[in-house]
Structure 1
């Protein structure tokens, strides 16, 4: 018997990550909270924004807010629990509290001890420096990948997509560019990374809870392959689950025939019921296989299993959405519309 040319020692050489270089919170149960002015003087403006946002937004009060008065606010259901709150006072000072958990304490009181001199407006950054919270168009070492929303303000992708990044930006389906907030939660073995992205990057996609995935099931890969060469809009490719284990019998991966390219890394693999069954991670390096076996492998790609990804999210303190894949399957175009709302482009600046 001839020795197996795909020895475990060379398995890593045969995988090609699909990343190119190119140049836990739940909504408040009652969905409302109160801001109370206890500073001892009238407030000219009341502002409350989700923690991590780069600006304060507009005045939320219909008029000046007297002391000892409360204002009830009703944020969107998917806004999460952590808010920064500020009062601008009649004497020009401000009262502020940051990172308030409105789910645990839906009443934020600004006291006299919270009053301080109003911060001066930041100076405009030099033309040679990137503006805070915005991509740097002059960055020389930029790479990209794909990701998808798994919970309010949380995006899942591959670790190798964001490994070593100094700054990470998420482009949403409605073309907003949102900065990711460090640190990321990482599982190096699974090659997964969970990013915090304040700003509502999109609705969370559900993970498949059952039945078990079978060989031959239809799946769809969705993401942003070959940015800078292909158009900037997301791409949909359809294929099948070819094998229930990855390269070298990796039990945490599926082998799939849905075509993926550099840039697809971290994107969702979705079944025909609209549920996540995997996270696209790599493709077989056809050149390396050819040099070792004399044959050219065709369309051999891999995805981290959805069950493994969902368990990673639970370890990170999230409760991923789960759904059964039963009933009538949907068409690829319908699945694409579901995926599009929640799949994001990831820009990494080093």
Structure 2
């Protein structure tokens, strides 16, 4: 097994599933667009891409056609320049780098939609949409309100600047809509796009409406092995109570699984739903972002032994650098003097920690 795949198989801290329902077309807060080249590249010839011909046999005009690479989180723009009558076709050409497998969505005049997933347009460039493929468009609650019928998962985040919340990328990946619940019980929608870095598993959400107090990162000294830490968040939502949970532990190692230099290994217990939550030192300053736990069952299958309480957090320094790339200057403070009580640290963390709901 490839080393990366092996490491991924050993990690597990998924978002907590909240509800099941009919899946809606998903979008995620996209990564920032690549920097434009200094000089325009010559246009590629049309033959460089693949041709897709879509035939409308739904019995009514098609008002919108979207075709995106399979697995893409959002549907992109409407490619129809005008409504397409029934029994007519529309041909478009994809970019060569997009490959062959596409998701296709056709919307017709009465609002119904047909969604065709993972179609191989290289093998089958002509796609016919029949009336039987149409489904009612999913209803949505009022703008800015969660949908109780949506298939949803949850995680944790914390405020790092005015109206900005940091969490894990895997908490919000593939979300159709994202909401946060603040410490004072308000529910606020996140506004796309977000700034994400899948490689280090971090995402920065824009959440207008004052989601809480920014939590300061530790400026100094360097984190040492054996230091006490506190994980704060919302594990096992829907099973445990809705208030945040606090667990105490230590920094066990200064690198993560496979010697990952971006992670600490910690003994503070974490569960699904803790992902994206703050890891604080004993002065109440952020030293990491909870990200994963060792998958005990996978390890047991390979070694015959069940690992005990092996968890990981993205290092605070790595998170700060991510925020600076996103044009956010994180608040920092030195950790010196007497340690605070665990209860006091919990109160400080609660002011800026939020519950994250991902609707898919």
TM-score category, normalised to shorter length: 0.5 to 0.7
Q: Alpha-carbon deviation of 1:17?
A: 2.2
Give the Cα separation in 2 of the matches to 1:7 and 1:298. Answer: 22
Aligned twin of 1:16: 12
* Structure 1: gaps (5+ residues): 24-126
Q: Alpha-carbon deviation of 1:9?
A: 4.5
Q: For this pair of structures, how many residues does the alignment match?
A: 243
Work out whether 1:212 is the aligned partner of 2:222.
yes
Deviations 1:200-251, CA, capped at 9 Å, x for gaps? 0011000011100001100000000001000000000000000000000000
From 135, 150, 153, the equivalent of 1:143 is: 153
Q: Alpha-carbon deviation of 1:7?
A: 5.3
Give the Cα separation in 2 of the matches to 1:22 and 1:128. Answer: 19
Give the Cα separation in 2 of the matches to 1:251 and 1:269. Answer: 17
Task: Provide the secondary structure at the position in 1 that maps to 2:348.
Answer: helix
Work out whether 1:132 is the aligned partner of 2:128.
no
Aligned twin of 1:159: 169
- Normalising by structure 1, we get a TM-score of 0.68
Task: Provide the secondary structure at the position in 1 that maps to 2:271.
Answer: coil
Work out whether 1:304 is the aligned partner of 2:314.
yes
Aligned twin of 1:114: none
Give the Cα separation in 2 of the matches to 1:154 and 1:257. Answer: 28
Q: Is the 8 A contact 1:217 1:240 kept in 2?
A: yes
Q: Is the 8 A contact 1:152 1:204 kept in 2?
A: yes
Work out whether 1:193 is the aligned partner of 2:193.
no
Give the Cα separation in 1 of the matches to 2:216 and 2:17. Answer: 30
Q: Alpha-carbon deviation of 1:19?
A: 1.4
- Normalising by structure 2, we get a TM-score of 0.66
Give the Cα separation in 1 of the matches to 2:317 and 2:14. Answer: 21
Q: Is the 8 A contact 1:18 1:283 kept in 2?
A: no
Aligned twin of 2:253: 243
Aligned twin of 1:270: 280
* Structure 2: gaps (5+ residues): 20-137
Aligned twin of 2:112: none
Work out whether 1:318 is the aligned partner of 2:314.
no
Give the Cα separation in 2 of the matches to 1:129 and 1:315. Answer: 35
Task: Provide the secondary structure at the position in 2 that maps to 1:199.
Answer: coil
Give the Cα separation in 1 of the matches to 2:318 and 2:260. Answer: 12
Work out whether 1:229 is the aligned partner of 2:225.
no
Task: Provide the secondary structure at the position in 1 that maps to 2:323.
Answer: helix
Q: Alpha-carbon deviation of 1:18?
A: 3.8
Q: Alpha-carbon deviation of 1:341?
A: 0.6
Q: Is the 8 A contact 1:19 1:263 kept in 2?
A: yes
Task: Provide the secondary structure at the position in 2 that maps to 1:145.
Answer: strand
